[in-house]
Structure 1
Amino acid sequence: MIIPAITEKEFEEVRRKVGIVEKQTQSIHIDIADGILVNGETFLDVSLLNTLATEISLELHLMVKNPSDYLSELRNIKKVITQVEGEDIMAFVTASKELGYKTGVSIAPSTSLETLNLFATNVDFVQFMTIEPGAQRRPFQELVLEKIKTFKKNYPNMSIQVDGGINSETLKKVLEVGVNDIVVGSAIFDSEDPVQTLRQLQKQVEEYKS
């Protein structure tokens, strides 16, 4: 599934972008970055998500040093993801599951698979960043594809999501290694027609699977 991603400092931009794609997708990915764990910063008040007038499912990607600080009962949030490079990750996973969220961990391209393996049996899914996390429009890192292949050999039943640098060209590459969900940000929202671009990417996935 293609999941549109929103990475914004101003929450009103989040609201605007949700309105653009909410009728064209099953889920929207909201990035939260503190400028400490990663080189990039977004709005940080996750309670603002409760003000969105939408019924679309949201997933929260916490690129923050202390992810547990951002956990609370939020309307429409179905999935929560944090970077394995943060602190007290197992405490976060436990707390997130207690709140009823589908919980995943995400790994940066420069982080070893051994770090991901520490948490893989305790989460519902994993996410591989195909750019350095923290901002959009960074270059796609093909070395991550080999990491995904290696991980899949050890965890063949694990749901895998990728995030970063995805466009019509790189989409084919991640589909070929066998991922379940694909997070796409700038390729959609930087285009002249975000809805049409989203539809084209969704069609590309459907055609690949058929």
Structure 2
Amino acid sequence: MNKIIPAILATDISDLELKVAQIPDEVKLVHIDILEKDIYTDIDIDFEAHIMTKEPDKFASLWVERGAKGVIVHKLSENILHLKNRTKLGLGIEFNVPLEEMLPSIAKVDFIHLMSITQMGEQGHPFESGIFDRIKKVREKFPQVEISVDGGINTDNYQKLLDLGVNKLVVGSGFKKLWNSLTKK
């Protein structure tokens, strides 16, 4: 179960607190989507921060200082690469970005975070089945890299993702349904 990570997209601090409070006790890590608005408050669970801002350098450092166990960015810079000394660094790759453009950067990070939806920053978008081929391509070139997949994951597709060697499934709006289907048997 530690492969299924709930994604939290909060509108403000009270929304973040409410969503964290709804996470099952068995969950040990949450994924917080960070947009332009700062929504930080102390939370009583380990978290990774998915930085989807115009200034990833500024926000990535800030969330590392706040205790993020991992930080995901979509653009690497020297400032961000230095964060590897303090936390796990992930490279986010949007679904519509050609993998070939990102391959040179994969060796510089601790893990990659493949988006399986076409629009980031919102939950509830449909799963793009083309992600299966993208995972295979990454595995061919980087057999040992940790892969997380984010977006549209549900009871119909999660097992195939795991079978392809995905290490973490980041699930937003479908988390409760998927979690319950796996734990309430």
State the partner residue of 1:60: 49
- 2:57–2:77 Cα contact (<8 Å) kept: no
Partner letter of residue 65 of structure 2? L
For residues 98-132 of structure 1, give each alpha carbon's deviation from its aligned partner in whole angstroms, at most 9, with x where no partner exists: 4x110000111100112221211110000110012
For residues 137-190 of structure 1, give each alpha carbon's deviation from its aligned partner in whole angstroms, at most 9, with x where no partner exists: 0110011210110110000000100000011112123123220110011012xx
Shift, 1:199, TM fit: 4.5
Answering whether residue 111 of structure 2 is matched by residue 120 of structure 1, we say: no
- 1:64–1:83 Cα contact (<8 Å) kept: no
Q: 1:105 to 1:202 in 2, by over 3 A?
A: farther
Shift, 1:24, TM fit: 2.2
Answering whether residue 10 of structure 2 is matched by residue 23 of structure 1, we say: no
State the partner residue of 1:40: none
SS in 2 for 1:21: coil
Unaligned runs of 5+ in 1: 35-43, 189-193, 205-210
How many Å separate the matches in 1 of 2:90 and 2:183? 23
Q: 1:197 to 1:24 in 2, by over 3 A?
A: farther
Answering whether residue 128 of structure 2 is matched by residue 141 of structure 1, we say: yes
**What is the percentage of aligned positions where both structures have the same residue?**
32
TM-score of the aligned structures, taking structure 2 as reference length: 0.88
Which of 146, 159, 165 is the matching residue for 2:152? 165
Shift, 1:135, TM fit: 0.8
TM-score of the aligned structures, taking structure 1 as reference length: 0.78
Shift, 1:77, TM fit: 1.4
Unaligned runs of 5+ in 2: none
State the partner residue of 1:69: 58
Partner letter of residue 135 of structure 2? I
Q: 1:159 to 1:152 in 2, by over 3 A?
A: same
Partner letter of residue 171 of structure 1? Y
Answering whether residue 7 of structure 2 is matched by residue 5 of structure 1, we say: yes
Q: 1:180 to 1:122 in 2, by over 3 A?
A: same
Q: 1:107 to 1:153 in 2, by over 3 A?
A: same
Partner letter of residue 23 of structure 2? V
For residues 59-106 of structure 1, give each alpha carbon's deviation from its aligned partner in whole angstroms, at most 9, with x where no partner exists: 00001222011122434410000124xxxx1324323224x1100001
- 1:162–1:179 Cα contact (<8 Å) kept: yes
Partner letter of residue 52 of structure 2? M
Shift, 1:26, TM fit: 1.4
| Aligned residue pair count | 180
- Which structure shows the higher helix fraction? 1
Shift, 1:202, TM fit: 6.1
Superposition RMSD in Å: 2.0
- 2:154–2:178 Cα contact (<8 Å) kept: no
1:178-197 matches, cutoff 5 A:
178-188=165-175, 194=176, 197=178
